[in-house]
Amino acid sequence: MKIAILTSGGDSAGMNAVVRSVVKAGILKGCEMWVVREGYEGLVRGNSEYLKATGSETPPAIKSEPDTVPGYPPSILNSLRFGDGKRLRDGTGDYTGGRTLKGRYIVRVGWDDVRGWFSEGGTLIGTARSAAFRTPEGRLSAAHNLIKEGIDALVVCGGDGSLTGADVFRAEWPQLVEQLRSQSQITDAQAQAHAHLKIVGLVGSIDNDMAMTDMTIGAPTALHRICEAIDNINSTASSHSRAFVLEVMGRHCGWLALLAGVAGGADFIFIPERPPKEMPWEDEMCAAIQDHRRIGKRKTIVIVAEGAIDSELNPIKAEYVKEVLSERLGLDTRVTTLGHTQRGGRPCAFDRIMPTLQGVDAVAALLESTPETPSYMIGIRENKITRVPLMEAVEMTRAVAKAVAEKDFEKAVSLRDPEFLESFEGFISTATLAKEPYLPKEQASALIYTSSCLVSV
């Protein structure tokens, strides 16, 4: 089998571990392994720019290596020795012997090419948001390019958008092949050999916004980064008795903001799935923060997810929250936008282990797949690597966005993993002064006052 892997959408820590794992696992199963550079954009462009520039369809063959190493069958050895370990890594795209990768987006790789990739941040094969792949013409070109290289199977590592794209591509594949055949862009034999596209998805996104998996690749690292940032901010906030409004990523999903609230001890959080119930929400936030200040808290941390909204779907922005805290409560307030520091950098251990295990399973899923089996998304549930139908996971993820758009926030939260609601309740119980149904406000405050020290809630 010839398997190609691409990374798409927003990059995330752990994507390189996926590529490394898929390439190595594939080679050891006797597959020929390829990477597609720059996500779907590379698939759409293929290798025709290279052909135009050099007049050659493929780069000259790589210098042959000795074909015997004790313990390795020659078939594996050939794949192991295919790469030179450098050509994808250096930004110039320099290929062995001065040949260039420029204009070549679909590239065969070997064991050496991905060595040591588990600890590298971002994605070394590049990613993109491709407008062209959203069009039928773009996807036709993508199909043509895959068939030209003889690729049978595709591994896509990306967020919900990328996996939606994968699902669209898979569903359209038979028509695309037929169109290419009827336009004589491919032969009947090619059309027959590529009648089915085997596809598998792995979820690479810091947002942890995909349904039917407990964790997405890159989310744990991003959460660690946010926690470190909160720890750093806590000390300076405490010194000055200031308030800080932290904006964290998450366009449609509040997982990062919520878990950062739990792990970092925020006073108030704003997430898209569960806006403040009271309107105007400014009153609710100010009351909560005033309560905390009243019992002696010197600092205030408010976390705002990038996509936070109120119950009328109006965006809640960090700068506005700052104004409210300054004007209504007189707090000396600063805004910190963590931005792309959350996305880049070295993956934490879990973002090396999980993608490695998922990559191995992705190859197994492709090798076991038949025209009758669905395309799978490899996820993780209760610490076990899982396979779920890609289409179902995509649909369920879309259902959350729909529920939010319809202001059905209970449904939106219920469609997230059970852990989401538990975390929300955990946040309420530990980061805010207990309110009903736990304890009436006065009792809760009294309880805290009677303890020998002031409790930092």
Ligand X SMILES: O=P(O)(O)OC[C@H]1O[C@](O)(COP(=O)(O)O)[C@@H](O)[C@@H]1O
Q: Does 164 bind ligand ADP (CB under 6 A)?
A: yes
Q: Least distance from C-beta 171 to ligand X, angstroms?
A: 21
Among residue numbers 86 through 145, which ones bind ligand X (CB under 6 A)? Answer: none
Give backbone dihedrals phi and psi of 240, rounded to 5 degrees, phi first. -95, 0
Task: Please give the radius of gyration of the chain, using alpha carbons only, rounded to the nearest integer.
Answer: 25
Query: Of the two residues 153 and 249, which places its CB atom closer to ligand X in the complex?
Result: 249
Q: Single out the residue of 3, 21, 40, 362 in contact with ligand ADP (rule: CB under 6 A).
A: 40
The nearer residue to ligand X, 251 or 441, going by C-beta atoms, is: 251
Coil, helix or strand at residue 26: helix
Q: Is 231 a catalytic residue?
A: no
- Choose among ligand X, ligand ADP, none what residue 50 binds, the Cβ cut-off being 5 to 8 Å by kind: none
Q: Which of 13, 176, 249, 362: binder of ligand X (CB under 6 A)?
A: 249
Output the CA torsion 94→96→98→104 (10° steps). -50
Taking the least distance from each CB to ligand ADP, the nearer of 113 and 167 is: 167
Nearest distance, CB of residue 158 and ligand X, angstroms: 7
Site string for ligand ADP, 110-139 (x = CB under 6 A): -------------------xx--xx-----
Task: Name the one residue in this structure whose structure tokens are 């290798």.
Answer: 47
Q: How far is the CB of 163 from ligand X (least distance, A)?
A: 10
Q: Is the distance from CB of 369 to CB of 278 less than 8 angstroms?
A: no
Check residue 214 for interaction with ligand ADP (CB under 6 A): no
What is the distance between the alpha carbons of residues 410 and 292, in angstroms, rounded to a whole number? Answer: 27
| 130 binding partner (options ligand X, ligand ADP, none; Cβ < 5 to 8 Å by kind) | ligand ADP
The site partner of 86 among ligand ADP, ligand X, none (C-beta below 5 to 8 Å per kind) is none
Residue 237 and residue 391: Cα distance in Å, rounded? 46
Compute the least distance from the CB of residue 140 to ligand ADP, in Å.
12
Cα–Cα dist 391/368, whole Å: 18
Query: Looking only at residues 290 through 349 of this chain, which bind ligand X when binding is defined by CB under 6 A?
Result: 306, 343
Q: Is residue 250 within the footprint of ligand X (CB under 6 A)?
A: yes
Phi-psi region of 207 (alpha: psi -120 to 50; beta: other; left: phi over 0): alpha
Segment lying near ligand ADP (by CB under 6 A), choices 89-97, 164-172, 176-184, 361-369: 164-172
Contact 302, 244 (CB under 8 A): yes
DSSP run (H or E) holding 361? helix 350-368
9 vs 359 by CB, closer to ligand ADP: 9
Element (H, E) at 448: helix 441-450
113, 207, 209, 291: the active-site residue: 207
Site string for ligand ADP, 144-163 (x = CB under 6 A): --------------xxxxx-
Element (H, E) at 385: strand 384-389
Minimum distance, C-beta of residue 252 to ligand X, in the bound complex (Å): 8
Asked whether 384 and 46 are in contact (CB, 8 A), the reply is no
> Rounded to whole angstroms, how far apart are CA atoms 141 and 46?
8
Contacts of 328 (CB under 8 A, 6+ apart): 282, 286
Answer whether 270's CB lies under 8 Å from 308's CB.
yes
Q: Distance (Å, rounded) from C-alpha 93 to C-alpha 89? A: 8
Residue among 40 and 111 whose Cβ is closer to ligand ADP: 40
> 77 vs 378, which CB is nearer to ligand X?
378
Select from ligand ADP, ligand X, none the partner in contact with residue 168, using the beta carbon and a kind-dependent cut-off of 5 to 8 Å. Answer: ligand ADP
Cis peptide before 437 (omega within 30 of 0): yes
Distance CA(420)–CA(423), nearest Å, equals: 5
Applying CB under 6 A, which residues contact ligand X?
Answer: 9-10, 159, 161, 205-207, 249-251, 306, 343
- Residues with active-site annotation: 207
Applying CB under 6 A, which residues contact ligand ADP?
Answer: 8-10, 40, 129-130, 133-134, 158-162, 164-165, 168, 205
